[in-house]
């Protein structure tokens, strides 16, 4: 049995969680919600909303330098895309601000 989780429900859960409120930026949560919805639409598979699993599966980075502190250093997002899923985040109408990866 699954409940429908709206974008607002998704973002608000993280924002209200004392332990997880700083896990992702607002822009990151917005982009992550889009990614998960696209996954459901593309596969036909419904995803159970499990915020702890989401936090374990995905990490947001502000820039390549921050990513390189945790993984083998790379020069750009394309190099990371060869290794895992990359979800770019935006700041309003401005292009690329940061990115989320599916941990590997």
- The predicted pLDDT at position 81 comes to 97
- The predicted pLDDT at position 2 comes to 67
- The predicted pLDDT at position 1 comes to 52
66-75: pLDDT as tens digits: 999 999 999 9
For all residues of the chain together, what is the average pLDDT? 92
User: Which residue is it, tokens 């990614």?
Assistant: 35
8-59: pLDDT as tens digits: 999 999 999 999 999 999 999 999 999 999 999 999 999 999 999 999 999 9
CA-angle at 57, arms to 56 and 60, nearest 5°: 90
- The predicted pLDDT at position 96 comes to 66
pLDDT-derived band at 94 (thresholds 50, 70, 90) equals low
- The predicted pLDDT at position 52 comes to 95
- The predicted pLDDT at position 4 comes to 85
């Amino acid at each position: 049995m699954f409940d429908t989780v709206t974008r607002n429900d998704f973002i608000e859960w993280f924002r209200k969680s004392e332990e997880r409120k700083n896990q992702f930026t607002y822009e990151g949560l917005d982009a992550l919600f889009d990614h998960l919805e696209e996954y459901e639409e593309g596969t036909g598979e419904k995803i159970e909303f499990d915020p702890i699993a989401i936090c374990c599966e995905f990490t947001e980075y502000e820039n390549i330098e921050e990513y390189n502190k945790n993984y083998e250093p790379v020069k750009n997002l394309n190099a990371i895309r060869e290794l895992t899923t990359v979800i770019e985040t935006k700041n309003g109408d401005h292009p690329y601000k940061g990115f989320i990866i599916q941990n590997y």
